[in-house]
């Protein structure tokens, strides 16, 4: 495997999107508030009675090819990883984008907007390399904090971000429609 990570322009997002972001959810982190939150929060991993495949790209507004129609992505970092000539993954870093509330109006904060690795390449530390490259990209822009959003149904991503040195810094039980039955988890890493 001959891996190369490149910084690209938004014009490649149609090819970037062809790398699947879908994953199979078999467990979930149940979020429990202790004393209505005054005593903190606990995450309990539980098996799902009905495992399912979650694909963020199924939601039209989530697709990478739609980002430029929703936001000014001129300050974003678009990373792609290749095995030889084959695109096998990528990451998108949002930065200096006022309409992205996750950035809190700060220029010293970057947000990992998307991270994807082709299913047949998962488990080979490619995500770890992309994450490290994304941190470096943000550091070059004088960012001091890196922020990542995921959901309690993406247990593998939660464990991944914890292994990358991120800490759970926030959650929102009501961020998504009730029909999704998901909790937003926000991870942070100092740069």
CB contact set of 31 (below 8 Å; sequence gap of 6+): 41, 42, 43, 152, 171, 173, 183
Domains of the chain, CATH where assigned: 3-190 (3.40.630.30)
What is the rounded average pLDDT of the residues 151-179? 96
Q: Residue 19: which of 51, 46, 56 has the closest Cα?
A: 56
Residues 161 and 88: their CA atoms lie apart, in Å, by 20
Residues 78 and 97: their CA atoms lie apart, in Å, by 14
Which region among 21-25, 164-168, 175-179 has the lowest average model confidence (pLDDT)?
175-179
- Give the per-residue pLDDT at 103: 98
Is the entire prediction scored with pTM above 0.85? yes
Tally the residues of the chain: 191
What is the rounded average pLDDT of the residues 21-31? 97
Percent above pLDDT 70 for the chain: 100
Tens of pLDDT, residues 52-77: 999 999 987 789 999 999 999 999 99
């Amino acid at each position: 495997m001959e891996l190369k990570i490149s910084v690209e322009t938004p014009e490649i997002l149609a090819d970037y999107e062809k790398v699947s972001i879908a994953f199979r959810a078999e467990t979930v982190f149940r979020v429990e508030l202790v004393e209505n939150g005054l005593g903190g929060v606990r995450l309990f991993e539980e098996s799902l009675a009905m495992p399912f495949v979650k694909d963020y790209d199924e939601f039209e507004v989530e697709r990478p090819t739609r980002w430029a129609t929703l936001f000014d992505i001129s300050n974003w970092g678009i990373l792609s990883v290749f095995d030889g000539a084959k695109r096998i993954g990528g990451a998108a870093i949002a930065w200096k984008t006022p309409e992205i509330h996750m950035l809190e109006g700060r220029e010293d904060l970057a947000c990992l907007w998307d991270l994807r690795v082709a299913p047949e390449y998962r488990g080979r530390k490619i995500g770890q390399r992309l994450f490290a490259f994304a941190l470096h990209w943000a550091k070059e822009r004088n960012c001091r904090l890196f922020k990542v959003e995921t959901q309690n149904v993406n247990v593998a991503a939660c464990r991944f971000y914890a292994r990358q040195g991120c800490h759970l810094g926030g959650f929102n039980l009501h961020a998504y429609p009730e029909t999704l039955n998901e909790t937003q988890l926000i991870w942070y890493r100092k740069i």
